[in-house]
Amino acid sequence: MTIKLFGGPKTRASMPLWYMEEKQIPYELLELDLRANKHRQPDFLAINPFGKLPVLVDSGVLTPGGELLTLFESGAILLHLAERYTDDISTAAEKALTNQWLLFANSTLSIALFVPTSRERDFPRLMAVLDQQLDPDRPLVGHCWGAADCAVQAHLAYLPLFYPEMDLSAYPVIQEVIRRTHARPAYRQVMGLG
């Protein structure tokens, strides 16, 4: 198999997994038992010294040093998969805007959602703007559901799972996006939602 993905439950591995399922990109999943601290053992630290998941190994791409491309950071993995294994990105603008949304999801949105001080301070405004920017019937970039949608929707879809008491009624579009995300078969499969 060309693509190996090191992942584990409750890591951002769910994003590239979901993306590869949607795009029917073949891959091999190598699940690490985080409770047994497998991500801190020497064999995995040789692959990612930071001990973080996910990590993608793409044997179809060599580094200038002749090694297999080994990539951490889920956003970088998504952009690589989109560019190399799909036809989703065809212009410089689509590439740049896809990357913008990947960084927005993994940095700006992630901090606003999951860092308590930011959640109080920045979350409401960010969500209000996002509610106006999103359209459940249109992808964020290009002509089909893609990496940008995957990253943003994956973060939003965590909200009812992580914070079931959170009131999202002020954000009707985001609610609809979450509802549709939770209904996608590939998402349900990857998230183990039966």
Positions touching its own copies (CB under 8 A) are 49-52, 61-64, 69, 71-76, 79-80, 83-84, 91-97, 99-100, 102-104, 106-108, 110-111, 115-118, 125-126, 129, 132-133, 142
Q: Which helix (H) or strand (E) holds 59?
A: strand 55-62
1 or 128: CB nearest its own copies = 128
Smallest gap from residue 161 Cβ to its own copies (A)? 20
125 or 179: CB nearest its own copies = 125
DSSP secondary structure letters along 112-181: HHHSHHHHHHTHHHHHHHHHHH-BTTB-SSSSS--HHHHHHHHHHHHHHHH-TT---TT-HHHHHHHHHH
16 or 184: CB nearest its own copies = 16
Q: Which helix (H) or strand (E) holds 191?
A: helix 185-191
13 or 71: CB nearest its own copies = 71
Smallest gap from residue 183 Cβ to its own copies (A)? 27
Strands 3-7 and 28-31, by their bridges, are parallel
Smallest gap from residue 148 Cβ to its own copies (A)? 11
Burial class (CB in 10 A: 0-12, 13-18, 19+), 139: middle
129 or 166: CB nearest its own copies = 129
Smallest gap from residue 121 Cβ to its own copies (A)? 12
Alpha-carbon dihedral of residues 139, 145, 147, 153, nearest 10 degrees? 70
Smallest gap from residue 149 Cβ to its own copies (A)? 16
CA dist 185 and 194 (Å) reads 9
